Amino acid sequence: MSALRSVLRGVFEFVVGDDWRIALGIVIALAVTALVATSALAAWWVLPLAVLALLGDSLRRAARSARR
């Protein structure tokens, strides 16, 4: 059981990396893109905007914690 848990933890850390908010944000942004794409609106702008926001927010938090 502990071996399975450590494998799952390893996979999680490998995929998600240092900031889980980025991974969560990407999943949400892809879902929003799919949702907007079903409407009459253009949907291509959602991911670039999400990338900008997620990277900026992650850097801001990392910089703040590095200065402490």
Q: Are 26 and 33 in contact (CB under 8 A)?
A: no
Between 1 and 44, name the residue whose CB sits nearer to other proteins: 44
Place of tokens 């253009």: 42
Spell out, one character per residue from 9 to 48, where the chain touches other proteins: x when CB under 8 A holds, - when not. Answer: -----xxxxxx--xx--xx--xx-xx-xxx---xxx-xxx
Q: How far is the CB of 45 from other proteins (least distance, A)?
A: 8
Q: Which of 7, 8, 53, 55 binds other proteins (CB under 8 A)?
A: 55
Distance, in Å, from the CA atom of 27 to the CA atom of 18, rounded to the nearest integer, reads 16
Q: Within 10 Å of residue 28's Cβ, how many Cβ atoms?
A: 13
